[in-house]
C-alpha cells in the first residue's frame, strides 16, 4: 500500500462512523399529557407503556417520553400542551377530552392519540369514528352512553331509594347531556334526581353535605377526569355518610367504594399504547379508526355493601365481572 492509498484508507475510517451516525434516526420523543396527578393514574400510564412496548417501543431504550401533569388545574393544559410542542415531540398522547382539545388547538400537524374521551365526534376531535381525518385518533370510553346504566344498577341495588342524587362537574363540556340522559333513566325508574355539582375538593365536601337535605338515598358519580383523581376523598365521604354510590372506575370499589360499572381502562390504555406505537412507526392518525370498548366491568364490594346494610340481588351478582369480599 503506497502513501496515497494509506491516507485514503485512514480518511475513510474517520468519515465512515460519521456517516453511520448521520444515517441513524434520532430516538423518537412522545409527549404524555394528563389532567390529573401522577400517583392517581399510575396504573393507566403503566398500561400505556405496556402497549408501547408490545409495539416495539420501550421507554429509555428506543423511546423518550415527556410527561406533563395538570394536577387537576385544567387551565394549565393549554400551556402544558404548548410546552410539549416546543420540545419537538414526535407525537402526543392526551388523556381526557379536555386534554385532547388543548393539544388539538395547539397543533394541526403533530399526531395525537387520545384516551378517556366520551364523544370524540361530538367534542369536535374527529370527523367520524371510522375516518377520523386530521391528526387525531384514539379511544372512546363510552362514558356518556353508560351514565344511565349506572343509575339503573344503583336503583336495582338500593330499591328503597326514591331519591338518587347525581354528582357532576359543571366544567365538563358533556355535563348537560349527562344530566339529561340520567334524568330520563331516573324518570323511567320512578325516582327523583337532584343534581349536585363540584369543581374542587371543597365543593365535593359541600355536595355530600347537601345529600342529607335532599333526602338522597344513593349517589351516581358522573364520569369525569376530576372525580377520577378524587378517588380517596369520594370513597371516604361515601363511607362516612353511609351513602351507596356508583362510580365509573373499578379502582373505586377496589379502594372501598360500593360498585362501579364501566370499561376496562387498563385494557384501553394498553391498546392506546399499541396505537401510539403504530403511529411512531409511520401510520397516520387519519387512517386509524377511533376504537370503542366491547367489554365492560361490573365490580361490587360485598364488604362495603354489608356495611351499608345492603343485600346484593342475585341479578347483580350474576352479572358482576369482579366481586370484592
SS (H, E, C) 277-316: HHHHCCCCHHHCCCECCCCEEEEEEHHHHHHCCCCCCHHH
Cα 85 from Cα 92, distance rounded (Å)? 9
249 closest CA partner among 269, 273, 221: 221
Pick from 189, 321, 323, 250: nearest CA to 312: 323
- 93 or 16, higher pLDDT: 93
Backbone angles phi, psi at 44, to 5 degrees: -70, -45
pLDDT cut 90: percent of the chain above it: 74
**How far apart (Å, rounded) are the C-alpha atoms in residues 149 and 155?**
10
| Residue 78 reports pLDDT greater than 90 | yes
Residue 17 has pLDDT above 90, yes or no: no
Q: What is the pLDDT of residues 102-113, one digit of tens each?
A: 999 999 999 999
The Cα–Cα gap between 285 and 111 comes to 6
42, 48 Cβ separation under 8 angstroms:
no
> Could you tell me the pLDDT band of residue 223, with boundaries at 50, 70 and 90?
confident
pLDDT band per the 50, 70, 90 thresholds, residue 7: very low
- What domains does the chain contain, in order, with CATH numbers? 29-142+264-295 (3.40.50.2300), 143-263+297-324 (3.40.50.2300)
Which tens digits make up the pLDDT trace of 119-129?
A: 899 888 999 99
**pLDDT, tens digit (0-9, with 9 covering 90-100), for 19-41:** 444 334 589 999 999 988 898 78
Residue 253, Cα to own-chain centre: how many angstroms? 17
Q: State the pLDDT at residue 6.
A: 47
pLDDT of residue 93: 98
Q: How confident is the model at residue 184 (pLDDT cuts 50, 70, 90)?
A: very high
User: How many other CB atoms are there within 10 angstroms of residue 28's CB atom?
Assistant: 17
Q: What is the pTM of this model?
A: 0.80
Query: In the numeric block, which cell numbers belong to residue 142?
Result: 363510552
In the predicted structure, residue 135 carries a pLDDT above the cut 50 = yes
Report the C-alpha gap between 228 and 100 in whole angstroms: 17
pLDDT, one tens digit per residue, over 45-74 is 999 999 999 999 999 999 999 999 998 888
Neighbours of 246 (CB within 10 A): 29
Q: Give mean pLDDT, residues 234-258.
A: 96
What average pLDDT does the structure give for the chain? 90
Would you tell me how many other CB atoms lie within 10 Å of the CB of residue 309?
A: 8
Could you tell me the pLDDT band of residue 215, with boundaries at 50, 70 and 90?
Answer: very high
Return d(Cα 108, Cα 275) in angstroms, integer.
Answer: 19
Question: For the segment 144-157, what is each residue's pLDDT rounded down to a tens digit?
Answer: 888 999 999 999 99
Number of Cβ within a 10 Å radius of residue 236 = 15
Pick the range with the lowest mean pLDDT from 22-36, 99-113, 219-233, 249-263: 22-36
Name residues whose C-beta falls within 8 Å of residue 180's C-beta, 6 or more positions apart in sequence: none
User: What pLDDT is stored for residue 3 in this prediction?
Assistant: 53
Amino acid at each position: 500500500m503506497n502513501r496515497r492509498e494509506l491516507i485514503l484508507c485512514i480518511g475513510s475510517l474517520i468519515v465512515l462512523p460519521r456517516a453511520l451516525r448521520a444515517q441513524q434516526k434520532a430516538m423518537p420523543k412522545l409527549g404524555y399529557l394528563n389532567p390529573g396527578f401522577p400517583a392517581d393514574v399510575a396504573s393507566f400510564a403503566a398500561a400505556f407503556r405496556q402497549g408501547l412496548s408490545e409495539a416495539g417501543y420501550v421507554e429509555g431504550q428506543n423511546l423518550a417520553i415527556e410527561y406533563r401533569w395538570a394536577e387537576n388545574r385544567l387551565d394549565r393544559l393549554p400551556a402544558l400542551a404548548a410546552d410539549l410542542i416546543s420540545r419537538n415531540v414526535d407525537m402526543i398522547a392526551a388523556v381526557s377530552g379536555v386534554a385532547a382539545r388543548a393539544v388539538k388547538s395547539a397543533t394541526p400537524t403533530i399526531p395525537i392519540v387520545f384516551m378517556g374521551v366520551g364523544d370524540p365526534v361530538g367534542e369536535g376531535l374527529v370527523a367520524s369514528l371510522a375516518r377520523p381525518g386530521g391528526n387525531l385518533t384514539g379511544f372512546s370510553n363510552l362514558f356518556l352512553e353508560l351514565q344511565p346504566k349506572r343509575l339503573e344498577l344503583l336503583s336495582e341495588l338500593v330499591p328503597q331509594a326514591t331519591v338518587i342524587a347525581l354528582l357532576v362537574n359543571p366544567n365538563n363540556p358533556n355535563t348537560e347531556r349527562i344530566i339529561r340522559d340520567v334524568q330520563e333513566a331516573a324518570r323511567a325508574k320512578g325516582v327523583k334526581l337532584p343534581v349536585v355539582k363540584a369543581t374542587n375538593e371543597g365543593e365535593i365536601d359541600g355536595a355530600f353535605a347537601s345529600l342529607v337535605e335532599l333526602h338522597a338515598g344513593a349517589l351516581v358519580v358522573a364520569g369525569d377526569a376530576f372525580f377520577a383523581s378524587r378517588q380517596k376523598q369520594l370513597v371516604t365521604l361515601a363511607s362516612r355518610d353511609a351513602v351507596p354510590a356508583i362510580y365509573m372506575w373499578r379502582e373505586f370499589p377496589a379502594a372501598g367504594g360500593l360498585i362501579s360499572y364501566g370499561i376496562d381502562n387498563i385494557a384501553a390504555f394498553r391498546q392506546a399504547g399499541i396505537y401510539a406505537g403504530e403511529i411512531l412507526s409511520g401510520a397516520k392518525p387519519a387512517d386509524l379508526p377511533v376504537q370503542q370498548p366491547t367489554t365492560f366491568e361490573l365490580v361490587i364490594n360485598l364488604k362495603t355493601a354489608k356495611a351499608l346494610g345492603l343485600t346484593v340481588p342475585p341479578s347483580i351478582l350474576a352479572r358482576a365481572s369482579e366481586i370484592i369480599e
